[in-house]
Amino acid sequence: MDASTRRTRFEERVRIEREFLVPINARFGTLAPLAGMTGAAINSWALRAAASPGGVDVARVAVLLREAAARAELLADNSRDVFAPAGRTSPDGLAALRAMLDDELRVGDPA
């Protein structure tokens, strides 16, 4: 595998993470911004977001964010070609997670 492929996978992981960060920060950004898609960042966000009004099931959203982060990491994992070529993460799975996130964020939407 060449450096270009690794870079492309990293860039794709960052793009996926941003795709999940943007709607969270659009909804919670002033009270509880989400700084990243690491476990620690999601845990910190969930604690702060749980105290904000809005009717969103923050625990459920945190589960979706953790799953999206894990899938994005798998997409960027260079060892997956060697150890698990058949176990690749499907982009459709990420789209389904994003749709579920959008549904969760619509509950109690102030707009």
User: Total domain count for the chain?
Assistant: 1
pLDDT digits (tens, 9 = 90+) for 68-91: 999 888 877 755 554 455 545 455
pLDDT of residue 86: 53
Distances (CA, A) of 26 to 5, 20, 30, 105, 109: 32, 10, 8, 10, 11
- Asked whether residue 88 is assigned to any structural domain, the reply reads yes
Return the closest-CA partner of residue 34 out of 57, 53, 18, 54: 18
The answer on pLDDT for 34 being more than 70 is yes
The answer on pLDDT for 103 being more than 70 is yes
CA neighbours within 13 Å on the CB side: how many for 18? 6
d(CA 22, CA 36): 11
Q: Which domain holds residue 51?
A: 3-106
pLDDT of residue 82: 47
- Asked whether residue 111 is assigned to any structural domain, the reply reads no
